Amino acid sequence: MAVKVWLITTILVGFGLTACTSESNELLIENVVIVSAERETASNAMNVLVRDGVIAEISAEPIQADRSVMRIEGHGRFLTPGLMDSHHHVAFVPGMGAIGVAPARDHEALVDAYMAQQPRSLLYYGVTQILDPAPLLAWRDFAANSPGPDLFRCGEIPNEEAGYPINQRDDADMVSLYPYRITSTRTPEMVVERIAADGAICVKIYLEDGFGAESEWPLYDAEILGRIRDAARAHELPLLAHANAIDMYQIALDADVDVLAHGLWNWQWPEGDPPVADILQRVHEQGVGYMPTHRVMAGLGEHLLPARMDAPEYADIVPSDLLDWYRAGGADWFADELAADFPPDMPREEMAAIFGYGVGRVQRATAFLEQAGHPLLLASDCPGSPTSANQPGLCTRLEIESLAQAGVSPESVFRAGTINPARQFGLEARYGTVEVGKVANLLLLEANPRLDIAAWDTIQTIILHGEPLERDDLKAR
């Protein structure tokens, strides 16, 4: 036993953590610079005491604590809130699609490995909270894996059977995958009441009448949308709308939704110049939450690139057997499906570049709102499709990179991943800042992310409910 205690203590000291041998429910972070949205600038050296997973005290003076308390020496490091990705799908496997549906159901061992690693990959990139707008049924499996980010979820109300997203499923999947359907015996009010009772923090609807230039899928009319909105507000649940086209944005804004769950990348318009600026100005004036989700279009294009999974960062977060499956062509079925919409002799690289036009449009839309001072929400929509390119955590980091490329400042990115989602989804009393009384989901970094987004690559320690986790320990095996 003495050897075991010595080994544990030695390991902790090597990481800048020290602890006595007795158990403690406290953590003391000393001499650390706090970077948090409620502060105009980074603090001087501070001391932070965490008790029972909650920030109990913050002081510029030394905090007296028992010898049993685990300590982290924070000199030269920066303490921030953990990131929240406000659009992440726990029930979808990159390269496969929805769990329980082909082809994912044909690869049980690979899916199990992915589900075990998924929460760790998110933590690896500093994501300590996620919102899943459409968790299907696998959210319970995600929540059972520890350690992992705190999971919040919406209840999704699909359109009628001929509409999206049910029309993307086999009939046999409809009942089990979509429990919140409006039917002749279940009114919008009844469905929203059940969503609230099931513990969701938001309601999601789909304004999607077809991909690209298509517009044949049925949508709920204004009367039904209004009833959904009123019921959601009666239960104090924000209403999110899947929408990415100008005409769908118009419907969403007319319905007075609270959050747009996608950026505006579809600028299809019947004639003349598309009214992009006008519609984005309405978004700003109505104070609607905005999820840019740049990685949707980017991930589609990257999936067409033959060597996409050879990038070294994937080895850190993708289980080795799953990575081998990708590299052996296991997910090429989706690349072939994407390529079917292009001329057969067009090189895949050119196809990928065409998806880049969509990325450019959504970046321009995001830039418009950034220049207007509109608060953004960090939202990757990982994986967003069966693309293998969008992997948990890395997808969030790449979304940050794309936001910066669009002209979003490091300060706005910081707020998009911390205080903005906490305010948008009624979580501000518990998350979003480094303050007494907040959940101790924190990050220790070597640089200040409010000054440079490259700081997000310097994460050393992830603190989850007061428990410090070293980043390297979260890598895939």
**Domain 2-80+433-474 matches domain 84-303+329-424 at the CATH topology level:** no
Structure-token match 């007296």, residue found: 64
Rounded to the nearest 5°, which phi and psi values hold at 246?
Answer: -60, -50
Reference 290, options 400, 212, 365; nearest CA is 365
What pLDDT score was predicted for residue 173? Answer: 66
* Domain at 2-80+433-474, CATH homologous superfamily: Urease, subunit C, domain 1 (2.30.40.10)
End-to-end CA distance of the chain: 28
C-beta of residue 333 within 8 angstroms of C-beta of residue 394: no
What pLDDT score was predicted for residue 145? Answer: 87
What pLDDT score was predicted for residue 6? Answer: 30
Tens of pLDDT along the chain (477 residues)? 333 333 333 334 343 554 443 355 999 999 999 999 999 999 999 999 999 999 999 999 999 999 889 999 999 999 999 999 999 999 999 999 999 888 999 999 999 999 999 999 999 999 999 999 999 877 888 988 889 999 999 999 999 989 999 998 876 666 678 999 999 999 999 999 999 999 999 999 999 999 988 889 999 999 999 999 999 999 999 999 999 999 999 999 999 999 999 999 999 998 899 999 999 999 999 999 999 999 999 999 999 998 999 999 999 999 999 999 999 999 999 999 999 999 999 999 999 999 999 999 999 999 999 999 999 999 999 999 999 999 999 999 999 999 999 999 999 999 999 999 999 999 999 999 999 999 999 999 999 999 999 999 999 999 999 999 999 999 998
H/E run at residue 250: helix 246-254
- Per-position DSSP letters for 313-355, written without gaps between them: THHHHS-HHHHHHHHTTTTHHHHHHHHTTS-TTS-HHHHHHHH
What pLDDT score was predicted for residue 14? Answer: 40
What pLDDT score was predicted for residue 24? Answer: 59
Rounded to the nearest 5°, which phi and psi values hold at 458?
Answer: -110, 20
Rounded to the nearest 5°, which phi and psi values hold at 45?
Answer: -60, 130
Q: What are 380's strand-pairing partners? A: none
- Per-position DSSP letters for 372-423, written without gaps between them: TT--------BSSSS-SS--TTHHHHHHHHHHHHTT--HHHHHHHHTHHHHH
Q: What are 266's strand-pairing partners? A: 245
What pLDDT score was predicted for residue 224? Answer: 98
CATH no. for 84-303+329-424: 3.20.20.140
Q: What is the residue extent of each domain of the chain? A: 2-80+433-474, 84-303+329-424
What pLDDT score was predicted for residue 172? Answer: 64
C-beta of residue 125 within 8 angstroms of C-beta of residue 117: no
C-beta of residue 415 within 8 angstroms of C-beta of residue 375: yes
pTM of the model: 0.94
Helix 246-254 / helix 276-285 crossing angle, nearest 10 deg: 30
H/E run at residue 76: none
What pLDDT score was predicted for residue 13? Answer: 37
Query: Cα–Cα distances in Å, from 34 out to 17, 64, 354?
Result: 18, 19, 43
C-beta of residue 354 within 8 angstroms of C-beta of residue 399: no
